[in-house]
Amino acid sequence: MKINSDHWETLANYESTDLVKRQFQGRHGRELNTGKAQEICAAFTQARGYMEAAKSADRIVRPLLVYYGILSLSRGVTLFLSTTLREAGLAQAHGLSVQNWNDELSRSNDGIAPLRIKLNAKGTFRQLVQATGHRSYLRNNSSRANYTVTCEMPPAGAEVALGDVMSRLPEIRTTYRRWRDDRCTVRIWPQQRRSDGRMEVRVDPPDTMEDVQAVFGDEWPLVDQSGGVITILAPLEATIPILSDVNERWNIGSLVAMTLMPGRLELSKISLAFVMSYALGMIVRYYPSHWIAMLHNQLNDGAVPSLLAALKHVEEDFPRFVVEFLEPPEGL
């Protein structure tokens, strides 16, 4: 089965050395030598191969193939965004590592949400975060990115639980909330700005006042609540939650506010997707008996719909994230 999307049609241009040279010249204002152009092309060609293989693979192994595709995409975009880095300088390590997963998975009643992942000082993950400036391209009532946010760089050695990552993927929120009642994201619609500079923000169903308070706290006062629609007011010196976005109808994006992770850790959209894909790949590769037991409804199967939804998100959206960094929307 062939992968087919506008994003992969764009990425196909990065499998041509001539086109990569032209794009690199336009992006960086300098000539790219043939050797590095070929290295960039190889990364994107390999990524396509892994993703096409994943599409026809059984879900017993599919997450691992997807992760290899994500690795290759990350290496390709990292090489392209750097004017000096060559393939030989790319990290051989993932940049992430599992923390005591054997112990956690032996506690069958705890499931996979507590599984911890360490963000290492070196590796592909760290190079991707640095190359992308830890930014996210967001869509506010638009089908194309029209807004950017920059996250604080994650400190080396920080750890994050898999449940904390999944609860901050707005793309899987509906499915995830059936499994765990973690209120970490709220879809928002910025409204008019008042004469005093404060802005009203609308929150629509299915988000509730409980969701709003979980993300914004009591610092943002309630203006109105009628028909399920909530309007809150941003204080002049408010702590702004981390922003993300999510697809709505007709591929229109809406802004999403989400809470910081424990330790006030921030992760951009592309880095969150990378961590999610890594976790899925590690479960499949190193704990296959646990993964297969989950798939066969023998153990902690409540997590399976959310994990498969997260896998779908990574497959479909990570290529878009890469394209946005290769060819940023005009004005951003």
Q: What is the pLDDT of residues 199-222, one digit of tens each?
A: 899 999 999 999 999 999 888 899
pLDDT, position 109:
64
Determine contact, residues 321/270, Cβ cutoff 8 Å. yes
pLDDT, position 251:
82
Taking the whole predicted model, whether its pTM rises above 0.85 is answered as: yes
Instruction: Give the start-to-end residue ranges of the domains of the chain.
Output: 6-184+259-326, 185-258
Please give the full DSSP string across 159-228, using - where no structure is assigned.
Answer: EEEHHHHHTT-GGGHHHHHHH-----EEEEEEEEEPTTS-EEEEE-TT--HHHHHHHHTTSS-EEEEETT
Determine contact, residues 273/136, Cβ cutoff 8 Å. no
Give dist(CA 325, CA 127) in Å, integer.
Answer: 14
Neighbours of 316 (CB within 10 A): 14
| Lowest mean pLDDT, pick from 105-119, 186-200, 258-272, 311-325 | 105-119
| Lowest mean pLDDT, pick from 227-231, 297-301, 308-312 | 297-301
pLDDT of 118 above 90:
yes
Structure confidence at residue 108 as a pLDDT band (50, 70, 90): low
Give dist(CA 324, CA 303) in Å, integer.
Answer: 31
pLDDT, position 41:
98
pLDDT of 3 above 60:
no
Kind of pairing, strands 229-233 and 222-226? Answer: antiparallel
Structure confidence at residue 196 as a pLDDT band (50, 70, 90): confident
Q: What is the pLDDT of residues 149-179, one digit of tens each?
A: 999 999 999 999 999 999 999 999 999 999 9
Structure confidence at residue 1 as a pLDDT band (50, 70, 90): very low
**Mean pLDDT, all residues of the chain:** 93
Q: Produce one character per residue of 160-179: b if its CB has 16 or more CB atoms within 10 Å, e if not.
A: bbbbbbbbbbbbbbebbbeb
pLDDT of 64 above 90:
yes
Structure confidence at residue 110 as a pLDDT band (50, 70, 90): low
